[in-house]
C-alpha cells in the first residue's frame, strides 16, 4: 500500500470503529489541510458521518451539504440526502 492522503482518509473509517468517532475526527481535521483532498467529496462525507455520530448536528449538516455538492453519482446523492434529512431523528453515538 502506498501512503497517500486517500489511504489516510480510508484509515479513519476503521479507526472510528475501534477508537470511536471523536478519535477519527482528529485525523480528519489533520487531513483537511492536504492539498490532494481539497474538494474531495469523500472527505466531507466521512467527516459528516463522524460528526453525526458525535451528535454535532449542525456541523454534520454542513459537511453533508459539501459532500452532496461534490458528487454527481445518483446513488451517493440519494444516500447523502437521506442522511442529511435524518439528522434530527438519530440519537448521538458519542
Residues 5-88, CATH architecture: Alpha Horseshoe (1.25)
The domain segmentation of the chain, as residue ranges, is 5-88
Maximum distance among all Cα pairs of the chain, rounded to whole angstroms: 40
Rounded to a whole number of angstroms, the CA Rg of the chain reads: 13
Return the SS3 of 35: helix
Report pLDDT for 20: 97
Residue found by looking up cell 449542525 in the block: 58
Q: Residue 20 and residue 54: Cα distance in Å, rounded?
A: 9
Indicate whether this model's pTM tops 0.85.
yes
At 19-41, the pLDDT tens digits run: 999 999 999 999 999 998 988 99
Return the SS3 of 20: coil
At 61-91, the pLDDT tens digits run: 999 999 999 899 999 999 999 999 999 776 6
Q: Residue 33 and residue 18: Cα distance in Å, rounded?
A: 24
Amino acid at each position: 500500500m502506498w501512503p497517500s492522503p486517500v489511504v489516510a482518509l480510508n484509515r479513519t473509517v476503521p479507526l472510528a470503529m475501534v477508537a470511536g468517532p471523536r478519535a477519527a475526527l482528529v485525523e480528519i481535521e489533520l487531513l483537511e489541510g492536504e492539498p490532494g483532498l481539497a474538494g474531495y467529496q469523500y472527505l466531507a462525507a466521512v467527516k459528516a458521518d463522524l460528526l453525526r455520530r458525535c451528535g454535532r448536528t449542525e456541523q454534520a449538516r454542513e459537511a453533508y451539504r459539501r459532500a452532496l455538492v461534490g458528487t454527481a453519482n445518483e446513488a451517493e446523492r440519494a444516500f447523502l440526502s437521506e442522511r442529511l434529512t435524518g439528522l434530527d431523528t438519530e440519537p448521538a453515538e458519542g
